[in-house]
Amino acid sequence: MAIHEKRVRILNDAAPRDGGAYVLYLLQQANRAHHNPALEWAIAEGNRLGLPVVACFGLLDGRNGFPEANARHYAFLLQGLADARAGLEARGVAFVVRKGSPAEVARDLSGRAALVVLDRGYLAIQKRWYGAIAAGVDTRVVQVEGDVVVPVETASGKHEFAARTLRPKLHRLWDDFLEPVAAEVVKHRADGLSLRSEIDVSDPDRVLAGMSLDTAVAPVRRFIGGETEARRRLTAFLAEGLAGYGNGRNRPEAAAASHMSPYLHFGQISPVEMALAIRAAKAGDDDDRSTYLEELIVRRELASNHVFYTDGYDAYARAVPDWARKTLAEHAGDARPYGYSEAQLAAGKTHDPYWNAAQAEMRETGYMHNQLRMYWGKKILEWSPSPEEGFARTLRLNNRYFLDGRDPNSFTNVAWVYGLHDRPWARRKVFGTVRYQSENSLRKFDAKAYVKTVERLCAAEAHGSQG
């Protein structure tokens, strides 16, 4: 199946280089060797030009590392890169990993490239990388979207007010983009190319041990990175979790979640591949499938829309709508029922055993059920000295401990706690007219069973087994 033309963008005015030795693909957001539109487009171009394909990755480290990333994030990333390398080399695509920013590595390797192919992400740092590559490379640069179902600008040309305003736009378009990506046969293998790779990602633990990182947040055993593991989890969810998902998804103790968000965040599985699998699943009913697709496509792509069209999406003054900042400011002086330092929050040392359990799940395993994420965030707002400090705390804790932190969903969900994509509700102390969430919301599920589940998961981490 051909790549949809709306996924492909030429980023500069340069022509492809005559006499190039290979087609260069910067594998950065789509960390996978299959169902990857940018990779397949690069292979097709290589076949047309009679050239092999070289995939590259720029690994940031130390002071120049990816913002807020720590040993937990890098362990999962490196596991995924090891899996991607095996898949790429089996297909005849070379994989070069070097120290440096993606822009630096791509520019260094572009000198012998006939053209450069990029995948796509929507964060500000990724946009800066792509811009630097397009401006600093003297051959054609082509970007191929593979991170969402419907490319952001195709779905909407503006910042959307809420899911209800984006949903009909996506529904009108997504059938055109929900097409499988055929694997191109590599006609010119890259086995004979002599390109230096500074880092051997086939041994992720060794690479991680040699990096200069924040190691206070340790890797987790609950999740193993890589597209092989992503597909295994998806297959298991289709067989065991999809049936009843529509009713069970808001019950953390029911184990109805697919746990696919870390794999989507690191580009280790395609959302199109997932959506097609959900649609074709024999288990479950129409409600189960539509509920999952709402989260996978509408909610996830609303987040991409938010970060793409918002300069400063990580800043309270830019990410939170005016009406919400106004009402929160009016109630900033209200007495808080409880107050905690950020260190107390991180350690889960509050009066609320259910909030503490949610924090423990995140801190120890890198994940938290969506139903608890909402409650978790609202309580940080309630227990912080100001809405501005609450926003900053929520984002720091989110990005530090979650495997899927530092993601469009993360930035959007934190801003939602403070009123983004929402409307005014009944006025309350501290919150004003921003939506409040009380302990009564815990009655919608078996909170005590959830606490026991978290205790089991944390014990598994401590004893070296997978939860």
Ordered by start, the domain boundaries in the chain are 1-147, 148-184+227-309, 316-462
The three-state DSSP-derived secondary structure of 282-315 is: CCCCHHHHHHHHHHHHHHHHHHHHHHHHCCCCCC
Q: How far apart are CA 188 and CA 21, in angstroms?
A: 11
Contact status, residue 411 vs residue 313, Cβ threshold 8 Å = yes
Determine the CATH number of domain 148-184+227-309: 1.25.40.80
Q: 148-184+227-309 and 316-462: same fold?
A: no
Residue 38: both structure tokens together = 């940018």
User: How much is the pTM?
Assistant: 0.96
Q: Which residues contact 98 (CB under 8 A, 6 or more apart)?
A: 56, 57, 58, 59, 105, 108, 196, 197, 198, 199
Contact status, residue 395 vs residue 414, Cβ threshold 8 Å = yes
**pLDDT reported for residue 458:** 96
Q: Does pLDDT of 333 surpass 50?
A: yes
Q: Which fold has domain 316-462?
A: DNA Cyclobutane Dipyrimidine Photolyase, subunit A; domain 3 (1.10.579)
- Structure confidence by residue, pLDDT tens digits, 119-137: 999 999 999 999 999 999 9
Q: Is 22 helix (H, G, I), strand (E, B) or coil?
A: strand
The dihedral built from the CA positions of residue 454, 455, 456 and 458, taken in this order, carries a sign that is: positive
Q: Which residues contact 75 (CB under 8 A, 6 or more apart)?
A: 204, 205, 208, 219, 220, 225
Question: What band does 467 get if pLDDT is binned at 50, 70 and 90?
Answer: very low
- Structure confidence by residue, pLDDT tens digits, 406-426: 999 999 999 999 999 999 999
User: Does the domain formed by 1-147 have CATH 3.10.270.10?
Assistant: no
Q: Could you please report the per-residue DSSP string of 85-148? A: HHHHHHHT-EEEEEES-HHHHHHHHGGGEEEEEE----SHHHHHHHHHHHHH-SSEEEEE--SS
Q: Does pLDDT of 56 surpass 60?
A: yes
**pLDDT reported for residue 360:** 98
